[in-house]
Amino acid sequence: MATAVITGGTDGIGRALADTYLGRGHQVLVIGRDREKGQAFVDAAGGRARFLPADLALVGESRRALAWIAETYPRIDVLVLGARFHRSTRAETAEGLESNFALYYLSRFLFSHGLVGPLSRAPHPVVLNFGGAGQTGPVRWDDLQLRRNYPGTGALGHGAKLCDLLGVSFTRIHRDTPIRYVLNHPGVVATSFAGEYDRVAAAQVELLKATGKTAEQAVAQILPYLDDPPARLTAVLEGRRVPTDTGSFDPAEADRLHRITQELLAGLPR
Ligand SMILES: NC(=O)c1ccc[n+]([C@@H]2O[C@H](COP(=O)([O-])OP(=O)(O)OC[C@H]3O[C@@H](n4cnc5c(N)ncnc54)[C@H](OP(=O)(O)O)[C@@H]3O)[C@@H](O)[C@H]2O)c1
C-alpha cells in the first residue's frame, strides 16, 4: 500500500493533503503536537490513518520521530513538510535554537535527508516542501537564527528561502535516487495560521483568513506536480511552475547552507 507522511498534517493544507491521499487509498501518517486534532483525523479516517505526536521544533524529537517512521514504514511514496508555527516575537527552543529556524528549516532538513531510505523504495517518490519558490530571500548568512532585528512575519519567509536551498542541495546530493522534490509557495490560504501573534500581526492574519483560498484549492493547485513532477527539482507558485535555474536557487548557496547545517547538527547533543 502506498504511504504518505505529512508533518503539519493535523491542520490546514497538510490536513487537506492527508484527506486527499486517504481518499486515494494510501495509508497516511500525520505529525503534529495537538493530540485532539490528531485523534480527530484518525477517528474520521479509520484504519489507514495514524497520528504521531511530536514537537518537531526540537531536533531530539524530530530524530526520535524519524527513527520510528523509518522502522514502521519501509516504503514512503509521499513526504509532505508542512509544519510551521509563527511567532511575532523571537523565541528559542529548549535546545537553544531559534524556533522558526528549528521548525521551518531544520526539521525539514532532518526529515528530507532522514527518510531517503524509505522514499527510495517507492517507485515514484516525491517530497513536497512549502518553500518560497524563489519569492523570498535573501539569506541572512551572518544571522541564520535571526538574533538581530527579528523580522516578525518575515521569519517565515526566511525559513522558506532556506527550504528552497534545501531542495537544491537535496536533489544534488541524492541525484542517484528516484526522489523528486517539489517546492511550493501556495499564496494566501485560509488555514489555522498556527502561531503566537502580536496585535498587529493578529489583525493581518484575520484579513488573510478572510481573503485566502481554501486549503482544498491550494491542494488542487499543487497535486498535479506531486502526481507527475516534471523535474528532479520543481518550484511552484500558486499552481504555476517557476524556473529553478535562476539566482534564487544558487547551488553554491545551497552547498554553503548544507555545510553550515551539518556543522550545527553535529554540535548538538545526540
Ligand atoms: N496559509 C498560508 O497562507 C500559507 C502561505 C504561504 C506558505 N504557507 C505554508 O504552507 C504550509 C502549511 O501551512 P498551513 O497554513 O496549512 O498550516 P497551519 O494551518 O498553520 O498548520 C500548521 C501545522 O503545523 C503543525 N505544527 C505547528 N507547530 C508544530 C511543532 N512544533 N511540531 C510539529 N507540528 C507543528 C500544526 O500541528 P498541531 O497544531 O497539531 O501542533 C499544524 O498541523 C506551511 O509550511 C506554511 O508556511 C502557507
> CA angle, corner 25, sides to 222 and 120, nearest 5?
70
pLDDT at 269: 85
Name the residue of 51, 153, 191 whose CB sits within 8 Å of the most ligand 1 atoms, as the mutation to test its pocket: 191
Q: Per-residue pLDDT for 116 more than 90?
A: yes
Q: Per-residue pLDDT for 153 more than 90?
A: no
As for ligand 1, residues whose beta carbon falls within 6 Å of it are: 8, 10-14, 32-34, 37, 54-57, 82-85, 103, 130, 156, 185-186, 188-189, 191-194, 208, 212
- CATH superfamily of this structure's domain 3-266: NAD(P)-binding Rossmann-like Domain (3.40.50.720)
Separation of alpha carbons 144 and 161, rounded Å: 11
Q: Of 78-82, 134-138, 156-160, 170-174, which gets the smallest average pLDDT?
A: 134-138
pLDDT in tens, 167-194: 999 999 999 999 999 999 999 999 999 9
Separation of alpha carbons 239 and 180, rounded Å: 17
pLDDT at 46: 78
- Is residue 136 within 8 Å of residue 87, measured between CB atoms? no
- Mean pLDDT calculated for residue range 35-58: 95
Closest CA relative to residue 79, chosen from 158, 130, 7: 7
Q: Per-residue pLDDT for 257 more than 90?
A: yes
- Mean pLDDT calculated for residue range 96-120: 98
Residue corresponding to grid cell 531542495 = 167
SS3 content of the chain, % helix, strand, coil (to 5): 45, 15, 35
Centre of ligand 1 to C-alpha 11, Å, is 7
Instruction: Name the band, by pLDDT with cuts 50, 70 and 90, for residue 78.
Output: very high
* Domain residue limits, the chain: 3-266
